[in-house]
Structure 1
Amino acid sequence: MHNNYYVFRQLSKELEAKISKTELLACFSQSRDELILGFSNVSGDFYIKASLLPEFSCLSFPNQFARTKSNSVDLFPEFIGRKVESIQQFENERCFAIHFEDNYALLFKMHGNRSNIIGFESEKAFELFRNSFPQDLELQLNELDRPIDQVKEAFFQFDGNYQKLFPTFGKLIKQYFQSIRLNEKELEEQWEIISLLESDIRNPNKFYTILWNDEIHFSLFKLGDIIKEEDSCLEGITQFYYTYSKENFIRKEKKRLAKQLEKQRNQSINYIKKSNQKLEEVLEKPGYNQLADILMANMHQIPPHAKEVELFNFYTNQNIIIPLKSHLSPQKNAENLYRKSKNQKIELEQLEASIKQKELELKEVEHKLSDVNAAEDIKSIKKLIKQNPQKERAQVELKVPYKKFEYAGFTILVGKGARENDELTLKFAKKNDLWLHAKDVTGSHVVIKQQSSKPFPPLVVEKAAQAAAFYSKRKSDSLSPVIVTPKKYVRKPKGLPPGLVHVDKEDTILVKPEAWWIETTKKN
């Protein structure tokens, strides 16, 4: 309600008493949407601060104002040194004008996100504060009044449509009428409520900053929770401006931080849940070492070239079917299983470590959420913003030349294009990282980041190879050969086109091209 005709009626009267016969000594801007006017006479100085942000336009009247030495520009120079003669409030309009000597005037057009301040000379507009509204140069001061016959007969004529009779009531009064279900009452009772309220706000005794429907408002009548109460409209709207700016910042940032941290918490919870399920599935099945032990104990029962064999599992006292590689001997199959057992042990250790790390991260996020909910002042909020620069990190990540995936605690990077492939391989990959690429076709470079000299688990290598195949010309093949080598064996001689490199030493594995990370995201 701070940009409301009834507010400006009171404001204009108080302004005239304050600045009539004063001289405008300063008119400058220190930011794009803010104008400061400084008036002075023998009684002292008076300041008007016009904040005309698109999302929040409001006037305030600080007791003092220190101008910065830089980033400050003088505006409306024709008005400097001129004395104020009068203040004009326009009927049923969110506009008022400060009239200066020699037929100059500054019009304050307070129309929400289209607010502006316009300079006039001899009734003709010649300068704008916000040049993005050139149509304001066509405004005529003598055409701004909107006389309306606001009588009972007209209200009944409009069939109770109060907005046609009182178009300047504004959003707050509209919300209030909705809360009391005004439209459900008889027209006679509606008129009585409206006329009483209109009488109160036309001649208010107090000026309130209130909390109503979880939002901060300036009001000319008591409503919701009273935050501030002032006898002067100038003081009341100034207190509202400071309260709104402070409280709105706190509310907005608390909401943003809470949303950001809740997202992190849910991601951690989903990761822990999924990882524990995977851990349980692996632990419930017979381990590769157990299968190998069973094979070794039953070599004489395994027929040559068998693809599977059913044997007695002495760990569970039940029979078990064990898949075999038909081209290998039973002993070689057992050796393969023992080798897999070692890798499986490493993978399980890494999975358990990842779960513990995520549990620690979850505790930290929940602690931060508690801090956000408890924060009540700007200092605390700013401290929390510094601790959680999520937006800045996201902006940095958007600029990197790769897509990033995680699997079993390992980071897999996939180049976004030919030039990005070069940047990934030559700038981001270290010599002991693992480098992958679909064999003999164009495609993305893929890098698995090394973890403290740990070996790369076969399953992680397989997943990275599937990504390399998926982001290549072999995407639609049933099986794709993929080059796997430490990055130190990859070089780029001068003159090669973007994305092309030489590989000095390589191994090749066959995988099915698969976008496994999409399924992972869906499950999360």
Structure 2
Amino acid sequence: MHTNYYFLRQLAPALTAQLRGYRVASCFSQEKDELVIGLTDGAREFWLKAQLGATFPALALPETFQRARANSVDLFPELLGELVETVAAWPQDRVLQVNFRSGARLVFKLYGPRPNAIFRSSPDAPAQLFQQRLLADADLRPGPAPGAPAAAPGAPAPSTALGPPADGSPTSSSKSDPSDKSVVQTKAKLPPALADLPARYLRAHGYDAAPPDAQMRLVNQVLAQLETPAHYYLIRLDGRTRLSLLPLGEILDTLPGADPVGALRRFVPMALSRRALEAETKQVRQALTRRADEATTGAAHARQRLHALAHEAGYRHAADLIMAHLHEIPAGAAEVELLDYYTNQPRLVKLKTGEKPQRTAENLYRKAKNQQIEERQLSQRIERRETEALGALERLEELDTQPALAELRAFRAWRKQHGLEPAAAAGKGPTELPFKVFEDRGFTILVGRNAANNDLLTQKYTHKDDYWLHAKDVSGSHVVVRHRAGQPVPAPVLEHAAQLAAWYSRRQNDSLCPVTVTPKKFVRKPKGARPGQVIVEREQVLLVVPANPFEGQERE
């Protein structure tokens, strides 16, 4: 609430009492979105530092300030030498106005997404903007200074687009400002200036369930507390450090209500110092939550697939039936009904018309072996993903329960220890390749999964010096052997890659398969070609036996 009307209305008279008669000695900026104003009465100095960035608009009141010798620029030269008369807060708005004896005015517009400082050397002078991109602020004029002559009878009350009308009614900006999204929406209309903290305080004290008359009493009680606060509270709420006029959330410090300047001096440095911790903690929390959700979902999908494999009649079962009833199967049959010895019920088995039943059974036995490998891999995946989910949940629990992590240095050490740094997380991304990945003698072999994936592999993930392989004259996967600087690819590695290219092609069941081998620079994709289709300009051919990459793992 450090930019809320109810705090600014306490801050304004305190600043008036302290700054009346002070002269502006300097006005400059040495950081982005920062305006520094130095004032003095000849014996004492007072510093006002306006943070006018969209992420954290605030008025800081440092007791001392040292101007940098370089990278500092003077601003608002006509402001120098002006004497402060009063400081005023506009009713029901987030605007603080400094009035000078000459009639000059400096307005601090503390709207969350678009704060600004607007200076006019006189009421009719052109506006000078700190944030030049907010051109609409040039048309904003502050209301009359306290003590200005009253308007003539019958004349309309002066009003501005930014400031309030003289009658104190809310401005159009305070009525429709989209940043005030957290006002309680109930039968009893609340002032927009209440914003989110008083609204949450009301909810915590039963506002929503109370009858209308009780709601009004609660609102009036809260308004009385806001208009004459007994204390200012530095609180932690939803992972953010905030200034509140009401006791809410985790109270970090309690300050006297008679000293809004002291409260602001205590709050702004604390909030700025904790912003990095709060932002990084939020980032890590989101990453851990996402990791836990993804791991849990992955484990659930793998468990569903494993359950389906365990409860369906397997390839081995069908192959056993074919071999047991081989003498009963007519030649060229597309399907045959056989007695299942396990259930004593007839079962329909599909066959290939141009293939012998023995060859069909052989292929089914091979698929059964691959199915066993898939089941083992699914079990490993379930275990791995559940471990990942448990680890992420444990880190989240540590984040909530370890007091040491409330300090930035300890938090960053903990984050580094568990590999949660943004750079480390970004570095892990490229290793999760969307292809089949194999290793041989330190060389990485990548295999495409389908036509579109082949295009992605060949066009986006392959260097011109990588070796590119493909089964000759048939459809199949693109295979790439990644080169290593200064190391030629050994012949056994190329042969292994060629066997993979043969296996992941239509020649998978052939006794021998010719495979095209060429550097990637001789492979191009013609305009208008279908997914996965390329032209090879220069090639060598290896003749290899298609090899199941998982059979070696099974034997081990």
> Do Structure 1 and Structure 2 share a fold, with TM-score over 0.5?
yes
Change (3 A) 1:346 1:505: farther
Give, as a single letter, the amino acid of the residue that structure 2 aligns with 1:337. Answer: L
Change (3 A) 1:75 1:391: farther
Aligned pair 1:376/2:406, yes or no?
yes
Query: For the residues of structure 1 that align with 2:429 and 2:449, how far apart are their CA atoms?
Result: 18
Query: For the residues of structure 1 that align with 2:99 and 2:471, how far apart are their CA atoms?
Result: 75
Measure how far apart 1:220 and its partner are. Answer: 3.8
List per-residue Cα deviations over 1:390-444 (Å, max 9, x = no partner): 99849988xx9xx94789x9874765999x78633743995367689997xxxxx
Aligned pair 1:206/2:242, yes or no?
no
Query: For the residues of structure 2 that align with 1:70 and 1:395, how far apart are their CA atoms?
Result: 41
Aligned length: 463
SS at match of 2:353: coil
Query: For the residues of structure 2 that align with 1:111 and 1:323, how far apart are their CA atoms?
Result: 72
Maintained 8 Å contact 2:2/2:244: yes
2:330 aligned residue (277, 280, 303) = 303
Measure how far apart 1:487 and its partner are. Answer: 6.9
Measure how far apart 1:4 and its partner are. Answer: 3.4
List per-residue Cα deviations over 1:44-94 (Å, max 9, x = no partner): 5533222233354221223445666776544324435x3643333155254
SS at match of 2:48: strand
Change (3 A) 1:205 1:338: closer
TM-score, normalising length from structure 2?
A: 0.63
Aligned pair 1:48/2:48, yes or no?
yes
Counterpart position of 2:4: 4
Gaps of 5+ in 1: 151-159, 440-444, 463-483, 508-524
Change (3 A) 1:355 1:191: closer
Counterpart position of 1:267: 294
Counterpart position of 1:61: 61
Maintained 8 Å contact 1:434/1:449: no
Query: For the residues of structure 1 that align with 2:472 and 2:298, how far apart are their CA atoms?
Result: 26
Alignment of structure 1 residues 68-79 onto 2, 5 Å: 72-79=72-79
TM-score, normalising length from structure 1?
A: 0.66
1:424 aligned residue (443, 449, 460) = 460
Maintained 8 Å contact 1:404/1:414: no
Query: For the residues of structure 1 that align with 2:505 and 2:300, how far apart are their CA atoms?
Result: 24
Maintained 8 Å contact 2:201/2:246: no
Change (3 A) 1:322 1:46: same
List per-residue Cα deviations over 1:144-172 (Å, max 9, x = no partner): 5754489xxxxxxxxx9886xx7755554
SS at match of 2:467: coil
Query: For the residues of structure 2 that align with 1:437 and 1:140, how far apart are their CA atoms?
Result: 80
List per-residue Cα deviations over 1:335-382 (Å, max 9, x = no partner): 333433444444444444434443443343333333343443444555
Maintained 8 Å contact 2:469/2:516: yes
Query: For the residues of structure 2 that align with 1:11 and 1:486, how far apart are their CA atoms?
Result: 79
Query: For the residues of structure 1 that align with 2:22 and 2:233, how far apart are their CA atoms?
Result: 29
Give, as a single letter, the amino acid of the residue that structure 2 aligns with 1:110. Answer: L
Query: For the residues of structure 1 that align with 2:247 and 2:112, how far apart are their CA atoms?
Result: 23
Give, as a single letter, the amino acid of the residue that structure 1 aligns with 2:130. Answer: F
Query: For the residues of structure 2 that align with 1:344 and 1:141, how far apart are their CA atoms?
Result: 80
Change (3 A) 1:362 1:192: closer
Change (3 A) 1:295 1:368: same
Aligned-residue CA RMSD (Å)? 5.3
Give, as a single letter, the amino acid of the residue that structure 2 aligns with 1:28. Answer: S
Query: For the residues of structure 1 that align with 2:524 and 2:247, how far apart are their CA atoms?
Result: 77
Counterpart position of 1:118: 118
Measure how far apart 1:230 and its partner are. Answer: 1.8
Counterpart position of 1:96: 96
Measure how far apart 1:116 and its partner are. Answer: 1.8
1:228 aligned residue (253, 274, 284) = 253
Aligned pair 1:279/2:306, yes or no?
yes
Measure how far apart 1:30 and its partner are. Answer: 0.9
Aligned pair 1:324/2:323, yes or no?
no
Gaps of 5+ in 2: 145-157, 170-186, 438-445, 483-492, 507-513, 543-556
2:389 aligned residue (353, 362, 370) = 362
Maintained 8 Å contact 2:467/2:481: no
Moved more, 446-455 or 280-289: 446-455
Change (3 A) 1:392 1:126: farther
Alignment of structure 1 residues 463-482 onto 2, 5 Å: none
Change (3 A) 1:172 1:301: closer
List per-residue Cα deviations over 1:229-251 (Å, max 9, x = no partner): 22320121233334555667656
Maintained 8 Å contact 2:109/2:117: yes
Maintained 8 Å contact 1:12/1:96: yes
List per-residue Cα deviations over 1:112-154 (Å, max 9, x = no partner): 434321122133243111123333333145355754489xxxx
SS at match of 2:22: coil
Query: For the residues of structure 2 that align with 1:70 and 1:410, how far apart are their CA atoms?
Result: 57
SS at match of 1:35: strand
Query: For the residues of structure 1 that align with 2:305 and 2:245, how far apart are their CA atoms?
Result: 62
Change (3 A) 1:267 1:44: same
Counterpart position of 1:387: 420
Maintained 8 Å contact 1:313/1:319: yes
Alignment of structure 1 residues 383-422 onto 2, 5 Å: 384=415, 387=420, 389=422, 393=426, 404=434, 412=449
Maintained 8 Å contact 1:23/1:41: no
Query: For the residues of structure 2 that align with 1:66 and 1:395, how far apart are their CA atoms?
Result: 44
Maintained 8 Å contact 2:2/2:58: yes
Change (3 A) 1:487 1:42: farther
Query: For the residues of structure 1 that align with 2:464 and 2:426, how far apart are their CA atoms?
Result: 17
Maintained 8 Å contact 2:466/2:520: no
SS at match of 1:427: coil
Measure how far apart 1:278 and its partner are. Answer: 2.5
SS at match of 2:306: helix
Maintained 8 Å contact 2:26/2:38: yes
Maintained 8 Å contact 2:464/2:520: no
Maintained 8 Å contact 2:48/2:62: yes
Query: For the residues of structure 1 that align with 2:372 and 2:459, how far apart are their CA atoms?
Result: 35
Query: For the residues of structure 2 that align with 1:392 and 1:413, how far apart are their CA atoms?
Result: 28
Measure how far apart 1:10 and its partner are. Answer: 2.9
Query: For the residues of structure 2 that align with 1:113 and 1:505, how far apart are their CA atoms?
Result: 63
Query: For the residues of structure 1 that align with 2:249 and 2:535, how far apart are their CA atoms?
Result: 73
